[in-house]
Amino acid sequence: MKPHRESWKTLINLPTQQLQTNPLRMPNNQQANIIKPTAGTPEKMGLHYRSKHKVNYDFNQLTQACPDLAQHTLLNQFGTQTIDFSNPVAVKLLNRAILKYFYGIQAWDIPENYLCPPIPGRADYIHHAADLLGSTNNGFIPQGASVHILDIGVGANCVYPIIGHSEYGWSFLGVDTDPVAISSAIKIIRANNSLTNTVQLNTQITAANIFIGILGGDRKFDLSICNPPFHSSIAAAHEGTERKWKGLGKRPATKLPLLNFGGQAGELWCPGGEAEFIGRMIKESAMFPHHCLWYSTLVSKESNLAKIHLALKKTHVADSRTIEMKQGQKKSRIVAWTFLNAMQRQNWCNSRFNQTQESPLPVSKN
């Protein structure tokens, strides 16, 4: 294995801010990120209570944020404005509008055929991760640039850092093996002043590695997040794509159709699928037990949980959590683990997060 500083290349080496002792807190009476439905507006079930996406979108507001979206809006059978989710152009423009309207992102784009993620599910991961951090921080969610998050597989869309910084002011290091994805994320960061001093990007040179070459030395993170490749092969990815097309009531125009949300090979599949990837993640995390307070990953397939829980047990983690999530009919979960015992976790929080700020944001009890 190469030495730490040689095993990754910094493509954006923005100055790393020193940990601040007074991170930003959101007063309870000013929880602006809680969107309450107006009378007669249906609320989407299952989303986190702080989600900005709990009610149906106002397309008049979204098209004002992104005028190009207007030509792709239509009325569904219930007379509600929506888009054709089988159209990748429409999906990208919807994401652009959502990121601008809800998260203040003035410029956002991704290369053709790269993953265009559904924003509500990504936001839910961030909100549940915030609750996880708060659960070991005397019940209060730590906020501000002093909270350092590691995003494994940041992708061309850079969505997790966008949401995490907008909602909680966190700092991010995004890592990816794909130089095109990193280049795209760089453009997003440089085009948005709110991100330029809070999001850094590294290329993972060795595709087989996850934390090796990233963690080590004095570099520590309060949380790592990951949305691992789901499929075990390119053929399985194509089968999944075809099922999604059928679910949308569409017939693919080609033998190997593009998914409406896009996705490159590294974003969609890896040998062994998500279970194998997460297994490697758990194994490598054990090499850096004191470099991250909480490791976490999204788990899409419920049948993989037994194998993942067994791997955590064999790795002798100090604690682990499985957090259920639901977005409409889609169910997923976050699995998180730590190698620090309760006292070590409390000491970590006491040393890195401010404990004296008045009226901090409480952890969700939902």
Domain containing residue 187: CATH number: 3.40.50.150
Q: Is the pLDDT of residue 239 over 60?
A: no
Same domain for 217 and 155? yes
Give the residues across from 204 on adjacent strands: 8
Number of domains into which the chain is organized? 2
186 occurs within a structural domain: yes
292 occurs within a structural domain: yes
136 occurs within a structural domain: yes
Query: Mean pLDDT for the chain?
Result: 81
Same domain for 80 and 219? no
Give pLDDT, residue 77.
87
pLDDT in tens, 113-142: 888 899 999 999 999 999 999 999 999 999
Residue 303 CA: distances (Å) to CA of 88, 286, 299, 319, 332: 30, 24, 10, 21, 11
Same domain for 292 and 342? yes
Same domain for 62 and 136? no
164 occurs within a structural domain: yes
Q: Is the pLDDT of residue 23 over 70?
A: no
Same domain for 291 and 325? yes
Would you tell me how many other CB atoms lie within 10 Å of the CB of residue 281?
23
264 occurs within a structural domain: no
329 occurs within a structural domain: yes
Question: Higher model confidence: residue 345 or residue 2?
Answer: 345
Give pLDDT, residue 330.
83
22 occurs within a structural domain: no
Give pLDDT, residue 229.
84
Give pLDDT, residue 18.
30
Provide the domain limits for residue 93: 58-103
Same domain for 223 and 326? yes
The pTM is what?
0.81
Task: Classify residue 7 by burial, with Cβ atoms within 10 Å: 0-12, 13-18, 19+.
Answer: middle
pLDDT in tens, 25-55: 333 333 333 333 334 444 567 899 999 999 8
Same domain for 122 and 152? yes
pLDDT range class, residue 358, cuts 50, 70, 90? very low
Same domain for 169 and 284? yes
Query: Which of 60-74, 83-97, 346-360 shows the lowest per-residue confidence on average (mean pLDDT)?
Result: 346-360
| CA dist., res. 221 & res. 291, Å (int) | 6
Same domain for 145 and 46? yes
85 occurs within a structural domain: yes
Q: Which of 103, 124, 139 is the last residue before a domain boundary? A: 103
Cβ-proximal residues to 137 (8 Å cutoff; 6+ apart), any chain: 349, 353, 355
Same domain for 64 and 82? yes
Tell me what percent of the residues of the chain surpass a pLDDT of 70.
73
Same domain for 139 and 277? yes
pLDDT in tens, 330-339: 899 999 999 9
Same domain for 75 and 211? no
Tell me what percent of the residues of the chain surpass a pLDDT of 90.
65
Q: Which of 69, 85, 103 is the last residue before a domain boundary? A: 103
